[in-house]
Amino acid sequence: MPVTGKVVAAYGNMVTASFESDVLQNEVAYVITGEHRLKSEVIRVRDTVCDMQVFEDTRDVKVGDRVEFTGNLLVVELGPGLLAQIYDGLQNPLPELAEKSGLFLKRGVYLDCLDREREWEFTPVAKEGDTVRAGDVLGTVPEGLFTHQIFVPFDFIGAARVTKMTPQGSYTVAQTVAEVEDERGKTHALTMVQEWPIKVPLRKYESRLLPVEPLVTGIRIIDTFYPVAKGGTACIPGPFGSGKTVLQQLISRYANVDVIIVAACGERAGEVVETLREFPHLTDPYTGKTLMERTIIICNTSSMPVAAREASIYTAVTLGEYYRQMGRNVLLLADSTSRWAQALREMSGRLEEIPGDEAFPAYLQTRIAEFYERAGYVTLGNGDKGSVSIIGTVSPAGGNFEEPVTQGTLAVVGAFLGLTWARSNARRFPAIDPLISWSKYVEQMRETLGRLDPGWTSMLKEAKRLIFAGDEIKKRMDVVGEEGTPLADFISHLKAEFVDAVYLQQNAFDPVDAYNTMERQVYIFRKLHEVLRKEITASDKDDAREIFFRLTALFKNWNSAEWESDEFRKYEEQINDFLGS
C-alpha cells in the first residue's frame, strides 16, 4: 500500500505535503494535479510535512491535491541501449517524447528510458548452479562498438544460486534472462535492466587507483601543458564568449575514451542541437564509426524545469559509472556546473535556508566535492580497469573567478583550464590562459609521461618558464617601449610569442590542426623545444622579428600538414635547415 499525502502549500517549484505514515528523505513522489502526475523529490522532512522539489511546472497545483509517495529514491534505468540516446535530466528519452507529445515538452509525461521492444542478442556467461553476488556478470549482449555486460543487480543483497539461465538468443531488456535463489530461498527473476539511485555513487569495484594514464583530448595546450588523467577531474571556467562550448565540443569529438556523456545542464538548447544533428554524421577518429555511437546526451537546457537540472548531473554521472563497471573509460562533460549550482541556490532560497556567499547554500562546496569525487580510475572484480573522468565548465558571474562555484570547484579538481577574455579578445584560441592554468597530473603522471619522452617534464618546465618570462618582458616593454628593451630580452619575448602562436593556439576549423594525436604532439614539441634552446643571432630587432615571422609561418604550415605526409616532411626539412644554420 503506497503512502499517500496531501498538498498543504506550494510556492514556485516547491510543494509542501502532509503524509500519513512514513516518508524517506530524497524519495520520489507524484503530485496529482488534474490529469497530470508531477514527479517530485522529497528534500526536507519536518514533523508531519515534507518539502518536495517538483521536476515540472507547478501551475494549477492546489492545496488538498493528492500526493503519492513511491518509497524509491530517484533512479536511472541501466541496461543495453543507453548509447546514442538523448535524455532529459530525468532520463526521459527526448526524441520519443517528441513523437508522443509534439513540438513542446508536456509536463507529467514519463516514458520508458530503455526501448522495451528492441531485442538484444544475449550470450549467457553464468551457468546454472553458479553462486553469484551483486555486480557479477550474468551474460553479455553486443551494443554498438563493444560488449555490454549484464550484471546481477548492484543492490542485490548477499549471495545467490543461479537456478535457471536462458539459452543464447534474442531478448528484450524486460524479459527474464536468469532466475536466482537467494540465501533465504527466495527466487528472483533477473532481466537485462536494473535501476540505481542517482545520488548514490556506484562503487562495485575492487579498489580505486591513482589516475596515471593521460586522457588525450587532441588539444595541445591541454595534453602537453595542463593534462587530464583518465579517472581525473578538470574544470574549465570562463566568461561568456570565451569559447567554453567550442572547447567542450572539440573534447567530446576527439577524446580517446570509449564513452562520452555530454550533460547539457542549463545551457542553450541551440548548442546541444549541433551535437545532436552533427554527431550522427561525424566519424569517431578511433573506431571509424559515427561519434553518436559512443555518446549519450543528457539534455536539460536552460528553459527546462530547474529541479530536473539539479538531477541531470547525477543522472549523467551514474550512467558513466555503469559503463565503468564494464571496464570502459568514460568521460563526462558537464556544461555548466554553475547552472547546476544555481538550481541548488534556487531550491535553498525556497527552503528559506540561511544563505552563504552570493546566496549559494552553505553546503555548495560539499555537493561540488561529492560530485567530482564520483570520478575515478578503478580495478574491477575481474581485474579489468575502468574510469570515469569529469570535465566541468563553470560560468563565473562577470568572468570573475573569485566567486563560490569556481572556488569550490578549484578546491577539488585535478586540473584548472582557465579561459579569459584577454585571450579570446585577442583571438588566441583555445582561450586557455597559460599564465593562470594548472594541472596536478603533470607530477602525478610523471612516470607515464616519461614514456613519451624521458625528458618530457623537464622540457615542459623550460617551456613554461619561457612563457612566464616572455610575459614579464612584454609587461616591461609596454612601459619602456621596444627601444628600451635589450635585444636578448626581445628575443625571449619573441620566443614566448612563437610558442603561443604555433603550439598553444590551435585552429579548430582546420581539419588537421583541430586534433593532434599524442604521438604528433610529442614529435612537434621536441622540435619546438629545439628552437627554444637554439641561440638566435639577429643583427637587430627587426631582423629578429623577421626570423620569427618565418619560423612561425613554417610551424603553422607544418601544423596543417597531414601527419607524415610529403608536405609534413617538406616543412620539417625546412625547420631542420633553420635549426642547422
Partner 1 sequence: MREIVTRITEITGSIASLSASGVGLGELAEIQLPGRKTLGQVIRIAGNMVTLQVFGGTKGLSTNDRVRFLGHPMQVKYGESMLGRIFNGSGAPIDGGPDPVEDEIPIGGPSFNPANRIIAKQMIRTNIPMIDVFNSLVVSQKLPIFSIPGEPYNQVLARVGMQAEADIILLGGMGLKFDDYTFFKTTFEASGVMNRVVMFIHQASDPVVECLLVPDMTLAVAERFAEAGRRVLVLLTDMTNFADALKEISISMEQIPSNRGYPGDLYSQLAARYEKAVDIQELGDITILSVTTMPGDDVTHPVPDNTGYITEGQFYLHNGVIDPFGSLSRLKQNVVSKVTRDDHNDIMNTMIRLYADCRESRNKIAMGFKLSRWDETLLAYGEDFERELMDLEVNIPLEEALDRCWGILARHFETVQTGLKDSLVEQYWPARDADEKQAV
Nearer to partner 1, 133 or 268 (CB): 268
336 prior amide bond cis, ω within 30: yes
Question: Rounded to whole angstroms, how far apart are CA atoms 461 and 468?
Answer: 11
User: Cβ distance 155 to 175 under 8 Å?
Assistant: no
Task: Output the smallest distance, CB 102 to partner 1, in A.
Answer: 8
Q: Is 240 in the site for partner 1 (CB under 8 A)?
A: yes
> Cell for 273?
542541437
Range 36-52 burial, b when 16+ CB lie within 10 A, else e? bbbbbbbbbbeeebbbb
Task: Output the smallest distance, CB 86 to partner 1, in A.
Answer: 6
Nearer to partner 1, 27 or 335 (CB): 335
> H-helix or E-strand containing 75?
strand 75-78
Question: Rounded to whole angstroms, how far apart are CA atoms 526 and 533?
Answer: 11
Nearer to partner 1, 304 or 496 (CB): 304
Task: Output the smallest distance, CB 429 to partner 1, in A.
Answer: 13
Residue of the chain from 6, 26, 44, 57 that contacts partner 1 (CB under 8 A) = 57
Nearer to partner 1, 224 or 395 (CB): 395
Q: Is 108 in the site for partner 1 (CB under 8 A)?
A: no
Please compute Rg for the chain using Cα positions.
27
Nearer to partner 1, 63 or 488 (CB): 63
Task: Output the smallest distance, CB 53 to partner 1, in A.
Answer: 13
Nearer to partner 1, 338 or 516 (CB): 338
- Angle separating helix axes 518-533 and 456-480, nearest 10 degrees: 50
Q: Is the alpha carbon torsion for 501, 506, 509, 513 positive or negative?
A: positive
Residue of the chain from 3, 8, 45, 369 that contacts partner 1 (CB under 8 A) = 8
> Cell for 122?
544475449
Task: Output the smallest distance, CB 383 to partner 1, in A.
Answer: 40
CA angle 278, 561, 438 (to 5 degrees): 70
**Contact window for partner 1 (CB under 8 A) among 237-245, 248-256, 380-388, 459-467:** 237-245
Residue of the chain from 106, 533, 534, 550 that contacts partner 1 (CB under 8 A) = 106
**CA distances for 63 relative to 16, 60, 66, 513, angstroms:** 9, 10, 9, 61
Q: Is 480 in the site for partner 1 (CB under 8 A)?
A: no
Residue of the chain from 71, 95, 450, 454 that contacts partner 1 (CB under 8 A) = 95
Nearer to partner 1, 165 or 308 (CB): 308
Residue of the chain from 19, 43, 53, 58 that contacts partner 1 (CB under 8 A) = 58
Residue of the chain from 400, 458, 507, 576 that contacts partner 1 (CB under 8 A) = 400
**Contact window for partner 1 (CB under 8 A) among 99-107, 175-183, 458-466, 510-518:** 99-107
Question: Rounded to whole angstroms, how far apart are CA atoms 323 and 388?
Answer: 9
User: Cβ distance 381 to 135 under 8 Å?
Assistant: yes
Task: Output the smallest distance, CB 9 to partner 1, in A.
Answer: 4
Which residues contact residue 154 at a Cβ distance below 8 angstroms, ignoring those fewer than 6 apart? Answer: 134, 135, 194, 196, 202, 204, 325
**Contact window for partner 1 (CB under 8 A) among 157-165, 169-177, 265-273, 545-553:** 265-273
Q: Is 511 in the site for partner 1 (CB under 8 A)?
A: no
Concatenating the DSSP letter of every residue in 208-236 gives EE---SEE--S-HIIIIIS-EETT-EEEE
Residue of the chain from 22, 25, 59, 280 that contacts partner 1 (CB under 8 A) = 59
CA 199 to chain centre: 17
Residue 130 neighbours by CB distance under 10 Å: 15
Task: Output the smallest distance, CB 360 to partner 1, in A.
Answer: 8
- Tell me the number of residues near partner 1 by CB under 8 A: 62
Concatenating the DSSP letter of every residue in 531-559 gives HHHSPPP-SSHHHHHHHHHHHHHHHHHHH
Residue type (1 letter), 92: N
Q: Is 365 in the site for partner 1 (CB under 8 A)?
A: no
CA 356 to chain centre: 27
Q: Is 104 in the site for partner 1 (CB under 8 A)?
A: yes
Q: Which of residues 334-353 bind partner 1 (CB under 8 A)?
A: 339, 342, 345-346, 349, 352
Residue of the chain from 249, 395, 505, 521 that contacts partner 1 (CB under 8 A) = 395
Residue of the chain from 3, 134, 397, 487 that contacts partner 1 (CB under 8 A) = 397
- Angle separating helix axes 337-350 and 306-324, nearest 10 degrees: 130
Q: Is 273 in the site for partner 1 (CB under 8 A)?
A: yes
Nearer to partner 1, 1 or 354 (CB): 354
User: Cβ distance 137 to 125 under 8 Å?
Assistant: yes
Q: Is 269 in the site for partner 1 (CB under 8 A)?
A: yes
**Binding letters toward partner 1, positions 287-326, x by CB under 8 A:** ------------x-xxxx-x--------------------
Q: Is 399 in the site for partner 1 (CB under 8 A)?
A: yes
Q: Is 479 in the site for partner 1 (CB under 8 A)?
A: no
Residue type (1 letter), 510: D
Question: Rounded to whole angstroms, how far apart are CA atoms 93 and 97?
Answer: 6
> Cell for 142?
553486443
Residue of the chain from 355, 381, 454, 484 that contacts partner 1 (CB under 8 A) = 355
- Angle separating helix axes 456-480 and 487-499, nearest 10 degrees: 120
Q: Is 564 in the site for partner 1 (CB under 8 A)?
A: no
Residue type (1 letter), 63: V
For residue 134, which of 76, 196, 83, 71 has the smallest C-alpha distance? 196
Contacting residues toward partner 1, per CB under 8 A: 8-12, 16, 33, 57-64, 86, 94-95, 97-98, 101-107, 239-241, 266, 268-270, 272-274, 276-278, 299, 301-304, 306, 339, 342, 345-346, 349, 352, 355, 358-360, 395, 397-400, 425
